[in-house]
């Protein structure tokens, strides 16, 4: 058993930001699946939304966020995160993050940040580093973490389950005491003991067949929190990014919302714009509206994709503003300075998650959650573009302040030493075949039955099949030696079930949840969908 003052699961912007602040108060372990730089943060292209211009205001940013959230945002949370943003941006800059600046006009003495605009925003307020903002932030934070002696980075380690008093047999109280972690290289399981466990594990995009997320986004933190008894909220709200590159060899490459923010147009195969039929804001409507519009156009025409065209902008501007998108598309024979980009919607961001307060505290004592894995009330029924990175740095700061100020309960109140992990050493020659088959089946049924447009019958079919799959996966989990593949499959099945259960509970269409059986918004459901394991 290893003891730390803080254990953080995840190495994206939320986890790294928290680790740097927590290291001032004690020892920190960061548990990260795969390489330390592999996270959703790294693939964030557009930028981070924050009020930094005299032409903008906190009130406008709050209003845009509330409008996108379709009535489910917590206004107090929105206002507090938006107003805390500038201070956290200054910290990122001090940590070495470089945001693009405008060219100095003649006579100007101070450079200004070059602000982008994205869907749902009424002003330019997106700070960016070309079209690789997430990578710029991730690398700066990793450099700072790497030289901090108080921080231990456990790469290629996957968290298995949280250790709680209830799981150790206590009935009068419950709290989180630690976490079991699989060392992927050796196959050994570590027991990490801490009174401050923080989930910063990101989202669950890989639960869908088509996603902009990297392979690590399998909802591990969310699934662990659910199994530990924490309250989960609003998992029906899965955001589909409208513009993922459509090419058989491209995988899951995102074409940033910022491209539309700089004037790109959505067109069909005939070159005709179609967004005017769906929203007066055209291509700058919130993501749920744009994604449904593209889905509707594809179904109406039978097309496999639509197109995003920025070829009317100066070629040099396009290449300098979007170098990563330009180079990536060029590899597939698409010159975006001349050619429209074939795009389709793809699963992108979970707006629900572990229910927390405005400081990241969950319903389970000793467990916090920040970043995409958490549901703070900021996003409501639909996330406003580029608000996620803002939320991550603000919540990391607040979470650290709360945890550092808390007095650690007396160790005599519960076991100091935690039991070691007991694992089956059995192998099954068919195990990998079953894992890969079930992984594929979950992702396909979620795409077909729990996608952008839903029906009650499709959701019920998904629920029935998922129950069978979950039973099958549990049998493998208990009877055979655990592997990363098996743990991810178990978590995917759990998260898929949470999405379906929450979707069945919401008998209306709101934000990212659209069902043909209840196409209108119902004020009776203007509340969070909260589920908890009994």
Active site residues: 287
**What residues does 151 pair with on adjacent strands?**
28
Decide: 418 and 178 in contact? Cβ < 8 Å.
Answer: yes
**What residues does 266 pair with on adjacent strands?**
308
Decide: 260 and 119 in contact? Cβ < 8 Å.
Answer: yes
Q: How far apart are CA 22 and CA 471, in angstroms?
A: 39
Strands 176-183 and 189-193, sheet pairing: antiparallel
Q: How far apart are CA 435 and CA 441, in angstroms?
A: 10
Q: What is the widest separation between alpha-carbon atoms in the chain?
A: 74
Within its chain, how far is the Cα of 307 from the centroid? 26
Within its chain, how far is the Cα of 439 from the centroid? 20
Strands 306-309 and 265-267, sheet pairing: antiparallel
Strands (E), 51-116: 115-116
**What residues does 97 pair with on adjacent strands?**
none
Token couple for 476: 């493998």
Q: How far apart are CA 510 and CA 292, in angstroms?
A: 12
Alpha helices (runs of H) in 304-417, residue ranges in sequence order = 315-321, 323-331, 387-405
Closest CA to 89 of 125, 39, 121, 61: 125
Q: How far apart are CA 411 and CA 323, in angstroms?
A: 54
Q: How far apart are CA 97 and CA 212, in angstroms?
A: 24
Token couple for 528: 């969070």
């Amino acid at each position: 058993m290893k003891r730390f003052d803080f254990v953080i699961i995840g190495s994206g912007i939320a986890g790294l930001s928290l680790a740097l602040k927590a290291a001032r108060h004690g020892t920190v372990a960061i548990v990260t699946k795969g390489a330390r730089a592999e996270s959703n943060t790294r693939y964030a292209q557009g930028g981070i939304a924050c009020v930094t211009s005299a032409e903008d205001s906190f009130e406008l940013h709050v209003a845009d966020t509330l409008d996108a959230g379709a009535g489910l945002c917590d206004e107090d949370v929105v206002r507090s995160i938006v107003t805390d943003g500038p201070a956290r941006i200054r910290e990122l800059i001090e940590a070495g993050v470089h945001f693009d600046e405008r060219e100095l006009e003649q006579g100007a003495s101070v450079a200004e940040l070059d602000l982008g605009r994205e869907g749902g925003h009424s002003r330019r307020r997106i700070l960016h580093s070309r079209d690789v903002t997430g990578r710029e932030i991730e690398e700066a934070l990793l450099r700072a973490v790497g030289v901090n002696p108080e921080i231990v980075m456990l790469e290629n380690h996957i968290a298995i389950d949280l250790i709680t008093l209830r799981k150790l047999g206590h009935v009068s109280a419950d709290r989180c005491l630690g976490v079991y972690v699989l060392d992927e290289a050796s196959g050994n399981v570590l027991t990490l003991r801490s009174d401050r466990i923080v989930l910063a594990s990101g989202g669950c995009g890989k639960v869908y067949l088509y996603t902009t997320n990297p392979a690590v986004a399998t909802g591990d933190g969310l699934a662990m929190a659910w199994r530990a008894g924490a309250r989960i909220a609003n998992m029906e709200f899965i955001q589909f990014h409208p513009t993922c590159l459509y090419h058989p060899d491209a995988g899951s490459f995102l074409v940033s919302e910022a491209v539309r923010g700089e004037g790109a147009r959505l067109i069909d195969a005939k070159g005709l714009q179609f967004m005017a039929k769906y929203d007066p804001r055209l291509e700058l409507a919130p993501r749920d509206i744009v994604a449904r519009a593209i889905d509707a156009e594809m179904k109406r025409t039978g097309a496999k994709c639509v197109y995003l065209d920025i070829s009317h902008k100066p070629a040099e501007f396009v290449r300098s503003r979007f170098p990563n998108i330009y180079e990536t598309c060029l590899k597939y024979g698409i010159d975006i300075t001349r050619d429209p980009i074939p795009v389709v919607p793809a699963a992108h961001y979970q707006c629900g998650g572990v229910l927390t307060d405005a400081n990241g505290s969950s319903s389970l004592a000793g467990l916090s959650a920040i970043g995409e894995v958490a549901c703070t009330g900021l996003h409501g029924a639909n996330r406003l573009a580029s608000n996620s990175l803002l939320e991550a740095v603000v919540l990391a700061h607040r979470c650290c302040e709360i945890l550092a100020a808390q007095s650690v309960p007396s160790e005599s109140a519960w076991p100091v030493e935690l039991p070691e992990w007991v694992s089956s050493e059995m192998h099954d020659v068919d195990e990998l075949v079953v894992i890969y088959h079930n992984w594929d089946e979950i992702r396909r049924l979620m795409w077909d039955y729990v996608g952008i447009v839903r029906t009650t019958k499709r959701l019920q079919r998904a629920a029935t099949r998922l129950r069978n799959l979950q039973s099958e996966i549990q049998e493998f989990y208990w009877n055979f030696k655990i592997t990363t593949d098996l743990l991810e499959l178990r978590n995917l099945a759990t998260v898929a079930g949470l999405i379906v259960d929450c979707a069945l509970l919401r008998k209306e269409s709101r934000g990212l949840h659209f069902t043909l059986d209840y196409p209108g918004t119902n004020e009776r459901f203007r509340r969070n969908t909260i589920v908890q394991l009994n």
